[in-house]
Every structure is written in structure tokens, then in C-alpha cells.
Amino acid sequence: MSKPSILDEQGRGAAAQEALGYNRSMLKQRTIKELVRATGVGLHSGRKVELTLRPAGPDTGIVFRRVDLDPIVSIPSSAHVVGDTRMASVLIKDDARVSTVEHVMSACAGLGIDNLVIDVTAEEIPIMDGSASSFVFLLQQAGVQEQPSARKFIRVLKDVEVRQGSGAAEKWARLSPHNGYKLDFFIEFNHPAVDGTMQRASVDFGDITYVRDVARARTFGFMQDVESLRGMGLARGGSFENAIVMDEYRILNADGLRYEDEFVRHKILDAIGDLYLVGHPLLASYTAHKSGHALNNDLLRALLAQPDSYEIVSFDALDTAPPSYVKQMTREWAQS
């Protein structure tokens, strides 16, 4: 019997990949293989909430469902349904709210999940450990499934920028053309614990892995703000288990920081989630100076208000697709 040729082996390998739902010739949409569940508390509401992640069909996008309401209310993720940005990104439809969506949205963006239904039994996504790592774990536990439809991207064609304030209080955020996805963020809190770390960080999806380099960065807060926040109905579920907590001088968490620049890295994690509310992965460079949920949403609305500033594209051949997104499957899912 003759020995199989290299071409024969490659052909069988490609056929096996096709059988598993992977098409080498096209950058495809992705969902999860099976549903997964978790329980936690809301950072701001302090209420117990059950979270269920369900597979969804092509072109569904990320959809949140308030299954505790009768009838159930579905809220597709969109920059235009963000109705509150005090300390979190909140989606609102009629009287129904889903709060603190940025961490689970960030995990979906980082792992390249296009289509997902997220059921919640309260008005807030559970905070888990204050980062996106628990949502990464849930998605990896569910497994990834490629789908028979091309993945759609929003390619930024020209600079779009929004600004607030002036002088030392000025904040701004910008999207610029880039054949991939990278983020550059600067923070300034005038606090010894924050100022003692790096206040600027950059991540390029072509060089880093979201799972290792971004997902574990936790939210943070200051003890002196707790009472006023709780008076506003916020931070009622905050604790050392789900946030970096500081007094006037130092970090109070016994385990310290996970990254030497964890504060600014968490702001990047938030921005990735906020920006994924545009509905598709971005082909863009994001640069921000002291931005937050409100300004990130303003930036998306400014982009969408200028039809000549972007286009929706897909890639029928992998060799024409941005390398960072081609690598995303093997780079991120190899972490599971």
C-alpha cells in the first residue's frame, strides 16, 4: 500500500475541521456549544442573580433577557439602548433594565463570541470577582461553535473623537482607522495607590491574549466613596472579594494586585466591553484620556451618527482578514 501524500493528509485534516464546524476559507461567526449557568450578586444592587448563557443563531448578536419579568423582556445589546452610565453601562428598554453589562460583553469580545443569549433573574449582571475572568471561564466551559455565516466587522474609516470638560478636568476618547484592534488608555486619580502604579497601558489584540493579559483585571473603588455611592443605590454588593478597595493611602486587599498596572488595565477591560455594544467587533484603534462608560457610549453614538466614518465588512478568505482576529480562535481558546 502506498504511503499517503502530504496533500492527502492535509485534505483529511481540512475535512476533519469542516466536520467540526471550522471552515478554513472564511472568518466565521461564533456562538457557544451548550448553555452554562452561574449565580452571583450585583455589584450595585447587592441582589442575588442567576445568569444563564445560551447558544444563539447567526446574526443574533448578544441579547440580554430579563427572565424574571412577565412577559420576558429581551434587550439586544446596542449603543442606542444604553440609558444609564453611572458607574456601569446599563441597557434600558421601556421599564426593564440590565445593568453592569460591560464585563460579560468584554469577555465575549475578547473570546470572539458574536451570538449569545444571556438570561438574568434580576436587573444586574453578577459582579463575580470584579473582572471578566469568571465570564471567560463560563464561555470556555460552554465551548465555542463556529457558524455558517461570515463574521461582520465595523471598520473605522476616519478619526471620530468626543471630549468633555476642559483643562485638568478634560476627558476624551477617539477611534481611528487600524487593520486590527488596539486600545491605549490613560488614567489619573491623584491617589497614592493608583499613582504608584502605571497610569497608561496599551493592548494590541495582535500581540496579547485577552484571557491572560486583560480578563483578570478587577474593578476598584475607594472606601471614602462607599457611603455616598450606597446613598445613590450603588455599590451595595461591593466587597474585597469583587473589587480592589483603597482607603486614602493604600490598597486594603490582602492579596494586592494581579497586574502591576491593574487599575488602568481594568479601564481597558471596561472599554472593550463598552465598545462591543456597537454590535460587531471593531477594526480600529481606540485612544482614551480619563474616559469612562458615558464617554465610551458617546463615542459609539458619534461614530454611528457619521455613516462615512465606518463600513461593515466581512472576510471570505482568511488571508485577507486582519491577522489579530484570525489568531483569536487559537490564541484565546487554547487557554481553556
| pLDDT one-digit tens code per residue, 263-298 | 999 999 999 999 999 999 999 999 999 999 999 999
Q: Note the pLDDT tens digit of each residue in 162-221.
A: 999 999 889 999 999 999 999 999 998 888 888 777 899 999 999 999 999 999 999 987
Higher pLDDT, residue 28 or 19: 28
What is the mean pLDDT of the segment spanning 134-154?
97
**Distance from first CA to last CA of the chain, Å, rounded?**
40
Answer whether 0.95 is exceeded by the pTM: no
- The response to whether 270 counts as a known ligand-binding position is yes
d(CA 78, CA 143): 25
Active site (annotated) includes residue 293: yes
- The response to whether 266 counts as a known ligand-binding position is yes
What is the mean pLDDT of the segment spanning 303-319?
96
Q: Which CATH number fits domain 25-332: 3.30.1700.10, 3.30.70.980, 3.30.530.80, 3.40.50.1000?
A: 3.30.1700.10
CB of 286 within 8 A of CB of 156?
no
pLDDT score of 227: 59
What is the mean pLDDT of the segment spanning 308-323?
95
- The response to whether 44 counts as a known ligand-binding position is no
Nearest Cα neighbor of 314 from 287, 276, 281 is 281
CB of 219 within 8 A of CB of 226?
no
Nearest Cα neighbor of 154 from 24, 287, 322, 296 is 322
Chain-centroid distance of CA 308 in Å reads 25
Report percent pLDDT > 70 for the chain: 88
> 3-class DSSP state for residue 234?
coil
pLDDT at residue 22 is higher than 80: no
What lies within 8 Å, CB to CB, of 60 at 6+ separation is 31, 115, 116, 117
Higher pLDDT, residue 15 or 146: 146
Confidence bin at 336 (pLDDT 50/70/90)? low
pLDDT score of 214: 98
pLDDT score of 8: 41
Q: How is residue 182 annotated by DSSP?
A: E
pLDDT score of 225: 64
pLDDT score of 69: 97
Average pLDDT of the residues of the chain = 89
d(CA 285, CA 291): 15
Report percent pLDDT > 90 for the chain: 73
Domain segments of the chain: what residues? 25-332
Q: Which three cell numbers stand for residue 289?
A: 484620556
Residue type, 305: A
Half-sphere exposure (Cβ direction) of 311: Cα atoms closer than 13 Å: 7
Question: What H or E segment, with its residue span, contains residue 330?
Answer: helix 323-333
Q: Note the pLDDT tens digit of each residue in 35-74.
A: 999 999 987 677 899 999 999 999 999 999 999 999 999 9
pLDDT at residue 6 is higher than 50: no
d(CA 160, CA 302): 7
Q: Which of 44, 178, 280, 293 is catalytic?
A: 293
Confidence bin at 13 (pLDDT 50/70/90)? very low
pLDDT at residue 3 is higher than 60: no
